[in-house]
Amino acid sequence: MGEQEVHKRSDPATAWWTDARFGMFIHWGLYAALAKGEWVMYADKIPVREYEKLAGDFNPQQFDAAAWVQLAKDAGMKYIVITAKHHDGFAMFHSKADPFNIVDATPFGRDPMKELAEACREAGIVLCFYYSHVIDWHHPHSLHKEHNNTWDYNLAEKHFPEYWEGKAKPQLKELLTSYGPVGLLWFDTAGGLSEADSRDIVAFVKGLQPDCLINSRVSHFIGMGDYVSKGDNEIGMSGEDQRPWETPMTLNQSWGYTTRDQVWKTAEAVIKKLVNVIGKGGNLLLNVGPTPEGTIPELSAERLREVGEWIRRNSDAIYGTEGSPFPAELEFGAVTTRPGRVYVHVHNDKWPADGLVMYGIRGEVSRIYCLADPKKKELAFRQTVDEALDLHVLKVELPAEPADEHVTVIALEMAEE
Ligand code: H79
């Protein structure tokens, strides 16, 4: 681990982020124009000169930063991570380091990152940037372990420092000096990056913005970055990571805008994933793929708003909570906690109408109710202890029907010690 610090959940450096629990990932770039996802240039081996022509027609007139930020807010998300540059090498911000950017190369001519930074500041949402630091199919000298542009460029002629010093670092400097405080930098696919270059980029970022967090994908060397990025769509197991962690997840099965993939998660599925992740102590970063016109597809927006309505009824059980203290996964849902409270997130399709039974709650419980119930009507319960077996059992009488949609949170108030 070297000089890298190990952050715990309570660490002040990462506290804003671990408290946030839920963020919006946005994959938006030139690739949206082809509506085949963000890997289209690589998959179709589109020559750089051809791909550049997309910029000439890229004019997302309907882009409205305030509307995107409002959607994130409505969804109950506290931070936004947007692709400032994905693997195609196209900067979605005004870059002096490379004219292949949205301000200089398109008729649109606006800087969406600037507009988002302002909208986020006004709304109290933390803005964060995704930056593809190793893969860049546009630059002749970017060099990745496997996914290179080999149709335009000869691998043998690549001289990585020209990309690293000439584009990656200058653009990161632009992102860290022109848009106000950046909550975190989300790096991806570090395959082939040396340990020295990984350390170089971490030091470079921290030198410009010491409070900017960095995800673990900055490097393939274990332990780097301020928190662990799980694999794409991977949730993991309880207690698996010593450090704070985050699951990046798609709403359909793609990241960038596509018309080919129409398998969408329902609001119910998202809520269940969210409580699964936060019950294990992680964050969920949920992706949307805006259109070339600059809008977030309405189906995604509708589902996110429905998730947000559920979160608003249950916010006490989400923001600033810790994961479950119980080692085993609960078959009916998840648990989050905060001092003096235990929240049991029960999946409605597993509603135990004949009573909720919890093992291992040692403290004395004073009050139990459904969080979504505006009257917070108390539920009857009984605590028993078999001292010989050290078995603590809590049995709660539940209403016949769940009190909320999809997942019902049962709040346990603990008596003062
Ligand atoms: O930004 C999103 C992805 O584009 C990115 N990570 C998330 C957050 C990512 N980069 N690399 N990968 C994911 C893994 C690469 C998978 C591949 Fe493929 C399998 C590349 C080629 C075969 C997926 C399937 C992409 C093209 C076809």
Its ipTM equals 0.96
Mean pLDDT of the chain: 95
pLDDT in tens, 95-113: 999 999 999 999 999 999 9
Can you name the residues that pair with 337 across neighbouring β-strands? 322, 342
Predicted pLDDT of residue 90 = 99
Mutate to test the pocket of ligand 1, among 216, 232, 253 (most ligand atoms within 8 A of CB): 232
- Ligand 1 first shell, C-beta below 6 A: 38-39, 43, 147, 188-189, 232, 248, 255
| Ligand 1 atom at minimum distance from 130 CA | 1
Predicted pLDDT of residue 330 = 81
Ligand 1 centroid from CA 1, angstroms? 27
Mutate to test the pocket of ligand 1, among 28, 131, 188, 234 (most ligand atoms within 8 A of CB): 188
pLDDT in tens, 164-176: 999 999 999 999 9
Predicted pLDDT of residue 187 = 98
* Shortest-distance Cα residue to atom 1 of ligand 1: 255
Ligand 1 centroid from CA 39, angstroms? 7
Predicted pLDDT of residue 4 = 43
Cβ contact 218:248 at 8 Å: no
> Average pLDDT for residues 221-228, to the nearest whole number?
93
Ligand 1 centroid from CA 190, angstroms? 12
CA distances from 24 to 61, 260, 301, 317 (A): 22, 22, 11, 19
Mutate to test the pocket of ligand 1, among 130, 187, 189, 249 (most ligand atoms within 8 A of CB): 189
Torsion of CA 317, 318, 320, 323, to 10 degrees: 80
pLDDT in tens, 252-275: 999 999 999 889 999 999 999 999
| Ligand 1 atom at minimum distance from 83 CA | 1
pLDDT at 244 over 70: yes
pLDDT at 77 over 90: yes
pLDDT at 331 over 90: no
Its pTM stands at 0.97
* Shortest-distance Cα residue to atom 3 of ligand 1: 255
Predicted pLDDT of residue 358 = 94
Give 328's pLDDT tier (boundaries 50, 70, 90).
confident
Ligand 1 centroid from CA 89, angstroms? 15
Domains of the chain: 15-313 (3.20.20.80), 333-414 (2.60.40)
pLDDT in tens, 23-39: 999 999 999 999 999 99
pLDDT in tens, 123-158: 999 999 999 999 999 999 999 999 999 999 999 999
